[in-house]
Amino acid sequence: MSYVIGIDLGTSAVKALLVDKNGTVAAEATRSYPLFHERSGWSEQRADDWVEATLESIRELVTSGSVDASAVEGISFSGQMHGLVLLDVGGSPVRNAILWNDTRTTEQCREIERTLGDKLLSITRNPALEGFTLPKMLWVRQYEPQSFEKAVTFLLPKDYVRYRLTGELHMDYSDAAGTLLLDVAGKKWSEEVLAAFGLPASLCPPLVESHGMVGTLLPEAAKRSGLSESTKVFAGGADNACGAIGSGILSEGLTLCSIGTSGVILSYEKDESSDYKGKVHFFNHGKENAFYAMGVTLAAGYSLSWFKKTFAPNESFDQLLSGVGDVKPGAGGLLFTPYLVGERTPHADSAIRASFIGVDGSHERIHFARAVMEGITFSLGESVHMLRSAGKSIDKIVSIGGGAQNPVWLQMQADIFDATVVSLENEQGPGLGAAMLAAYGCGWFDSLEACAKQFVKYADEYKPQPEAVKTYKDLFAIYQQIYTQTRGMNEALVAFR
């Protein structure tokens, strides 16, 4: 049997999947790495931690799957988006990577808006948001000029891992779209944006399709991972593009909900023609010449893991959430807004922070846990609402990410989104999407769609329950007021953080 490997470089951990030609996951391995929050709003990781964790997880896959190294034909990647990795002339990172959920760059975002005006949206199809890569570059240039002077290339997280495995520098369109340096519709680095900020084109790596082959493994990487040097390496894509591929979101009318560290609602776009005026992100898909529109909740799964870490550090998610289905929708009048690190959609605001509203003497920890899950889902519901308001019809949503492991949460999504929610048999959307890019790249299938027919296996369907839909509609109207009513207070609190 032949295999491919899909690597999902997440924020909390890297997950590696060994997948056979039938799309069956033969083995899985995961390794976590630390996140550094040196100041409020900052979020960094060490790029070399990703490489070590990836090599270790591949080695475990190969060993636990008891496969012959020569049976693994290809490997590809899904990566957390937007993170800035600056490399010096020797190919080493000049500082820690600054991640997608780091919001230190408000000043640089305003500078980008002032400099580019309307051109920003027409070229990059996205507004200046703190999480994107260009503002991070400008921040490093302004505040750490000694590091920036050393930088000759920039990469995104999974591109750095792939570079260390192959020695080749590349970036795929789906990830490049999240840098604010790409002409998204034209599929090329924007000379206009680069020139406007005095950035040399040589900083940008060559662009490739997600299923494009970029090389084979370096001898050292082959030795450490246990794979053969002839293993073909394919570019891969942004985690949300790969999550979409791994969930079969490859044609018009299909929508994805992903609750990982972040949360996203993503809707397929067959071409570049839709214009959301920057209200949602608009990026290149990992499928050639396709696109997607996407709303992002910065602290989705992160809100629940913050809650667990703070109030139930010694329990598993399943223990923490046991009994959460017995609490009625609305958590006894307790609402939560998941703005622990600021927000992106629909409120691009780095100063806003989370709230519990309606705390009552009768509330127990389980009500708070339910309120956190509901607040995250309401936030994602805002993106569903925005896409519907722009004319999208959203009746069926494939749900992935760590959050999709809990059936109560899947039913809650169906009730809050008022749509049928479908889970996957193997809850590994982005990793499976990466494996599919390798399988398609290896020539196992004529198209990603043909690969999806074989690889993507849907599991349970959750239908919206009318009574809960009605309750959540009423609560959503109250939830939506919390942002405007707490914004001023949070701005005043910035000085105390």
Ligand X SMILES: O=C(CO)[C@@H](O)[C@H](O)COP(=O)(O)O
Which residues are the active-site residues?
A: 239
Rounded Cα gap, residues 238 and 310, in angstroms: 30
Interaction of residue 264 with ligand X, rule CB under 6 A: yes
Q: How far is CA 81 from CA 133, 134, 156, 165, in A?
A: 9, 13, 7, 19
| Residue pair 371/356 in contact by the 8 Å Cβ criterion | yes
User: Applying CB under 6 A, what is the total number of residues that bind ligand ADP?
Assistant: 20
Interaction of residue 240 with ligand X, rule CB under 6 A: yes
Residue 228 site contact among ligand X, ligand ADP, none (CB < 5 to 8 Å, cut-off depends on kind): none
Where in 100-194 does DSSP place strands (E)? 153-155, 171-172, 182-183, 188-189
Residue 406 site contact among ligand X, ligand ADP, none (CB < 5 to 8 Å, cut-off depends on kind): ligand ADP
Rounded Cα gap, residues 434 and 204, in angstroms: 23
The 102-131 site mask, x for binding ligand X (CB under 6 A), equals -----------------------------x
Which residue of 15, 31, 82, 95 would you call a contact of ligand X, by CB under 6 A? Answer: 82
Strand partners, 171: 207
Among 294, 306, 293, CA closest to 261: 306
Rounded Cα gap, residues 70 and 137, in angstroms: 40
Span from 11-19, 141-149, 355-363, 454-462 in contact with ligand ADP (CB under 6 A): 11-19
Interaction of residue 351 with ligand X, rule CB under 6 A: no
Residue 81 site contact among ligand X, ligand ADP, none (CB < 5 to 8 Å, cut-off depends on kind): ligand X
Torsional sign, CA 448, 453, 456, 462? positive
> How many beta carbons lie within 10 A of that of residue 445, not counting itself?
18
Whether the ω angle into residue 219 lies within 30 degrees of 0, i.e. cis, is no
Least Cβ distance, residue 202 to ligand ADP (angstroms): 32
Interaction of residue 173 with ligand X, rule CB under 6 A: no
Q: Is 82 annotated as a binding residue?
A: yes
Span from 46-54, 185-193, 317-325, 345-353 in contact with ligand ADP (CB under 6 A): 317-325
Q: How far is CA 109 from CA 19, 153, 235, in A?
A: 41, 21, 29
Which residue of 5, 11, 28, 162 would you call a contact of ligand X, by CB under 6 A? Answer: 11
Q: What angle do CA 34, 37, 43 make, to 5 degrees?
A: 85
Least Cβ distance, residue 212 to ligand X (angstroms): 20
Binding site for ligand ADP (CB under 6 A): 10-13, 259-261, 301-302, 304-305, 317-318, 321, 401-403, 405-406, 409
Annotated binding site for substrate: 81-82
Binding site for ligand X (CB under 6 A): 10-11, 80-82, 100, 131, 178, 239-240, 260-262, 264, 281, 296
